Amino acid sequence: MLRLYSWLYPLFLPLLLLRLLLRSRHAVDYRRRLPERLARHLPQPCDLWVHAVSVGESVAAAPLIQALQQAHPGLRVLVTGMTPTGAERVRTLLGASVEHRYLPWDHHRWQGRLLDAAKPRLLLIMETELWPCLIAEAGRRAIPVVLANARLSPRSAAGYARLPALVQPMLQGLQGVLAQDAATAQRFAALGVAAARLQVCGSLKFDMPVAALDRASLRAQFQLGERPIWVVGSTHAGEEALILAALPALRSLLPDLLLILVPRHPERFASVARAIQAGGWGDCRRSRGERPSATTAVWLADSMGELNQWYALADVALVAGSLLPHLGGHNVLEPMAFGVPTLCGRHVMNFQQIVDTACAAGALRTVAAGDELVAAVTSVLQDEEEAGRLRLAAQRLLAANRGALQRQLQAIDGFLVQ
């Protein structure tokens, strides 16, 4: 099955290149460094190779990499990813302390070429970014592969189960799976990962460092006064329409409400700006250095690397990527860490365990688009007791679940020492 997969994969190369070209029409960085995706412009030899597919994985990996660098002075680290936004986060968070490359498309020759150049002692894959040829080629070179901060949704597990001839050898090639929760560990076990290679370590997202951002200073910097601020972070196509549809009802109840809208992907900034203008909400954009006036209803945060800043400003936050069934959600802990009452949609399969735990603790509310969304935002902004309950519950939740970083660090350190 692996041979068939490796033979068929290059047949899709024209489609992969076309997709990259289409995305680059709105984000030119997608067509930069193209040779790296074919295992050209190879990296220097390293001790540790960390694969973090995009932004979320890069943010989660950064504290782990920094802790390993402190524990092993001189540790040479290669970080690979698949997106320009992820590459930018690696540069911002880790700078020149690591080397960054795009991961080649998953053909055995390209993955083997990169492995032969990098010569890592350990390949660390963040969360669930599993590629059959990459893992097989690492195994041929006796390079251990560990899945860190591992998560596996029921839907993903069901998809893997449909291809046992390809998936089981791949999973058996993992020397360690450091699962975020017991349910993830059980799903990996059901797919064939040996119990001895499974550890439940918790989610690194509970241990992410919080930037030193002062709400009062930020409000003064942007001249926002005391008007209520609703931040909607990491929106995807289709979600902005749902958010903007809720705005007339919210503004009728809270006339000075400011919505800060933060799209997930930079190639969509222009289309989101057009949607805001078409709705009659003006054209105030962060990328042009514009600040909202007292009458501005929507401020488009079309910038990169500033999501934490917007969350720190918020009186209430909605973590998007969760209002439509096919998206899977994003990290709800980010606004909670700034003491912000937090909402999300109900389609959160990528973060189901964290969302369920947060809801059970009273630290998060899940909502559907429409009247329910309007009612939840209004309730939090008008009822300080409810907002306070959400803040306190979130603070307790974060404190109770810290420690995953140290547990995963200890496990990974053992592989590096070996």
**Catalytic positions, please?**
57
Query: Of the candidates 354, 342, 334, 322, which has an alpha carbon nearest to the alpha carbon of residue 392?
Result: 342
Strand, helix or coil for residue 166: helix
CA angle 204, 305, 243 (to 5 degrees): 90
415 C-beta neighbours (distance < 10 Å), count: 17
Crossing angle of helices 132-140/164-172, nearest 10°? 40
Token duo for residue 299: 């401020």
DSSP letter string over 206-226? Answer: GGPPPP---HHHHHHHTT-TT
Strand, helix or coil for residue 142: coil
Q: How far apart are the first and last CA of the chain?
A: 31
Cα–Cα distances in Å, from 9 out to 4, 106, 114? 8, 7, 17
Distance CA 99, CA 313 (A): 33
Strand, helix or coil for residue 285: strand
109 in Cβ contact with 116 (< 8 Å): no
Cα–Cα distances in Å, from 283 out to 115, 289, 297? 48, 12, 10
Read off the amino acid at residue 315.
Answer: D
Sheet containing 258-263: order of strands:
284-285, 298-300, 258-263, 229-235, 316-319, 342-344, 365-366
Distance CA 262, CA 299 (A): 9
Reported as type and span, the H/E element at residue 77 is strand 77-81
Which residues does 321 contact at the CB level (< 8 Å), separation at least 6?
Answer: 234, 235, 236, 239, 264, 327, 328, 329, 330, 345
